[in-house]
Copies of this chain bind each other. A is one copy, B any other.
């Protein structure tokens, strides 16, 4: 990643922790709805926040995973779990701002995940996939833990597709040896913008059917 400026480092960490917090809120809210106890709420908050990054780190061989090596990620995730446990009614009413932060977290996770995979020597194609996994893996783990089909796999607004576009821009830049940092900024903006427009306008992916009958 080699970001030289200390200021940029701090900004990235801040965004990363905000993304972690917001992802964790989504886990906590689901756990409360499913009537899990306090421990279950904390587990779902952590699972939603860090599973994507952990799967990425396990696949690229980064031991221990970043979110275990640095205690701040899990502490932030648990704080979000506690907040949800106490004020879940408020969080549910704040749906719109939470969705905005979630879109920012998705953009950041996808782009940084792709960058980390590239830094570990993976091909641009594999790095793109790992970026998507970083972005959407937490939501999948969260949903599987309460035994529901991951919402990201069902027909919803463009969520994974936004992660794909963000990761893909970073991966394409690497494939063509273009400078990485502008590509990461561009990828994050594209991912965020696409997700934002999809929420606003209800853009969706097609479902199979039609001519084949059913």
CA distance A67 to B63 in the complex (A): 19
CA–CA, A86 and B207, complex, Å? 10
Residues in B with CB closer than 8 Å to A123 are 69, 71
Task: Tell me the dominant secondary structure on chain A's binding face.
Answer: helix
Closest to A161 in B: B39
The answer to whether the Cβ of A199 comes within 8 Å of any Cβ in the partner chain is no
Most chain B beta carbons < 10 A, residue from A39, A54, A145, A212: A39
Is A39 within 8 A of B126, CB to CB?
A: no
What residues of chain B lie closer than 8 Å to A181, measured between beta carbons?
none
Verify A129–B88 contact, CB threshold 8 A: no
Choose the segment among A11-19, A30-38, A104-112, A186-194 that binds chain B (4+ C-beta atoms closer than 8 Å): A30-38
Complex Cα–Cα for A173 and B56 (A): 31
Give the oligomeric copy count: 3
Q: How far is the CA of A37 from the CA of B145 in the complex (A)?
A: 22
CB <8 Å contact, A149 and B154: no
A94 CB–B CB distance under 8 Å: no
Given A122-B68, A149-B147, A207-B37 in contact, is the A87-B43 Cβ separation under 8 Å?
A: no
Q: How far is the CA of A65 from the CA of B133 in the complex (A)?
A: 15
Q: Are A44 and B153 in contact (CB under 8 A)?
A: yes
Given A38-B207, A58-B58, A71-B125, 8 more A-B residue pairs with CB atoms under 8 Å apart are A37-B204, A38-B205, A60-B64, A61-B63, A68-B122, A71-B126, A84-B208, A86-B208
